[in-house]
């Protein structure tokens, strides 16, 4: 019987903490355990500390997970809670994603200061975002817009917007909802035209492979439709060597036992793109994502990928 608290690792941003607290609440409800049986351990990651440069310049997504994963492997943490879109497609040996919480709305939210929608922005308007996917999609729709690098927490980005540093910014709607700040969104972007990052809107829980005690803890809170959809999306990303240097969008939807995936790759300037859709059984989610990635890579050709640099 567990006598000491389970240790839940997380980053320290308000959004990361909200995700850790949601995970804790679901575990408490699933197992009938009191709050004191779960200790939330806050760690600072390199990605949190370096905010003046794009992730692609300083090492990519793993900068948000490395410190947490080191403590998972050492046994100092029992589980780590992450935004799934921040997770590298290849995890350290000995670790895996054991559970996903029910997915929130995966759309991107546009937050405009000088105009309520992306289409309504004046010519030459300035939009702040650090995401190469969002940059490429904006350039695809509005090549006249100037883009500047915008990093930091949700609150930091909104403060910069309020200060007039930019005319607009984009954030994951799921994060705004988890922070109860969804009212700041002035437009929700249609995923058919502005596909989200693979795994956007999903909270994942990482643990040690083979730890049966933690597997039993997490199994009741694992949302299977989210697990299958995000597994497909991450397989697509992995096939394309997805990182913060590659503009890639994609999302999977589960309907009963079926799954439909839509994916898109772009050049950074948004001028060239390749899209794909695949459908199949949810039990084949990973294979479907791999197939979609391989097909789009073949259709695009090596020259397309060389343009990413």
Q: Please give, one letter per residue, the 3-state secondary structure of the chain.
A: CCCCCEEEEECCCHHHHHHHHHHHHHHHHHHCCCHHHEEEEECCCHHHHCCCCCHHHHCCHHHHCHHHHHHHHHCCCCEEEEEHHHCCCCCCCCEEEEEECCCCCCCEEEEECCCCCCCCCCCCCEEECCCHHHHHHHHHHCCCCEEECCCCCHHHHHHHHHCCCCCEEEEEHHHHHHCCCHHHCCEECCCCCCCCCCCCCCEEEEEECCCHHHHHHHHHHCCHHHHHHHHHHHHHHHHCCCCCCCCEEEEEEEECCEEEEEEEEECCCCCCEEEEEEEEEHHHHHHHHHHHHHHHHHHHCHHHHHCCC
- How far is it, in rounded angstroms, from Cα 13 to Cα 48? 8
For this structure, is 86 an active site residue? Answer: yes
Query: Tens-digit pLDDT profile for the chain (309 aa)?
Result: 677 999 999 999 999 999 999 999 999 999 999 999 999 999 976 555 555 555 545 445 566 788 999 999 999 999 999 999 989 999 999 999 999 999 999 999 999 998 999 999 999 999 999 899 999 999 999 999 999 998 788 999 999 999 999 999 999 999 999 999 999 999 999 999 999 999 999 999 999 999 999 999 999 999 999 999 999 999 999 998 754 577 999 999 999 999 999 999 999 999 999 999 999 999 999 999 999 999 999 998 877 766 555
- How far is it, in rounded angstroms, from Cα 233 to Cα 103? 13
Nearest to 252 by CA among 286, 221, 219: 286
- How far is it, in rounded angstroms, from Cα 250 to Cα 227? 15
Which one of the listed residues 48, 52, 78, 86 is annotated catalytic? Answer: 86
- How far is it, in rounded angstroms, from Cα 20 to Cα 102? 14
- How far is it, in rounded angstroms, from Cα 61 to Cα 69? 13
What global pTM score does this model have? 0.91
- Write the pLDDT tens digit of every residue in 65-122: 889 999 999 999 999 999 999 899 999 999 999 999 999 999 999 999 989 999 999 9
- Which structural domains are found in the chain, ordered by start? 1-101+202-222 (3.40.190.10), 108-188 (3.40.190.10), 223-309 (3.30.160.40)
- How far is it, in rounded angstroms, from Cα 21 to Cα 41? 11
């Amino acid at each position: 019987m567990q006598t000491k608290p389970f240790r839940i690792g997380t980053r320290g941003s308000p959004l990361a903490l909200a995700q850790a607290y949601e995970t804790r609440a679901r575990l408490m409800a699933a197992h009938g355990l009191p709050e004191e049986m779960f200790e939330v351990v806050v760690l600072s990651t390199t990605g949190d500390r370096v905010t003046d440069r794009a992730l692609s310049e300083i090492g990519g997504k793993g900068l948000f997970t490395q410190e947490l994963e080191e403590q998972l492997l050492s046994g100092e943490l029992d589980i780590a809670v992450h935004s799934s879109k921040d997770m590298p497609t290849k995890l350290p040996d000995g670790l895996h994603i054991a559970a996903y919480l029910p997915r929130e709305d995966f759309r991107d939210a546009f937050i405009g200061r000088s105009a309520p929608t992306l289409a309504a922005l004046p010519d030459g308007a300035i939009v702040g975002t650090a995401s190469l996917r969002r940059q490429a999609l904006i350039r695809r729709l509005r090549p006249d817009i100037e883009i500047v690098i915008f990093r930091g927490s949700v609150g930091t980005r909104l403060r910069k917007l309020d200060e007039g540093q930019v005319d607009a910014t984009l954030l994951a709607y799921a994060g705004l909802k988890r922070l109860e700040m969804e009212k700041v969104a002035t437009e929700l972007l249609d995923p058919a035209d502005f596909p989200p990052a693979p795994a956007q809107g999903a909270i994942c829980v990482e643990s040690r492979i083979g730890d049966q005690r933690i597997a039993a803890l997490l199994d009741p809170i694992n949302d299977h439709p989210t697990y299958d959809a995000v597994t497909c999306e991450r397989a697509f990303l992995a096939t394309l060597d997805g990182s913060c240097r590659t503009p890639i969008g994609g999302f999977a939807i589960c309907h009963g036992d079926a799954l439909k995936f839509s994916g898109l790759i772009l050049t950074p300037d948004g001028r060239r793109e390749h899209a794909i859709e695949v459908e199949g059984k949810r039990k084949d989610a990973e294979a479907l994502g791999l197939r979609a990635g391989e097909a789009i890579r073949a259709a695009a050709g090596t020259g397309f990928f060389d343009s990413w640099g």
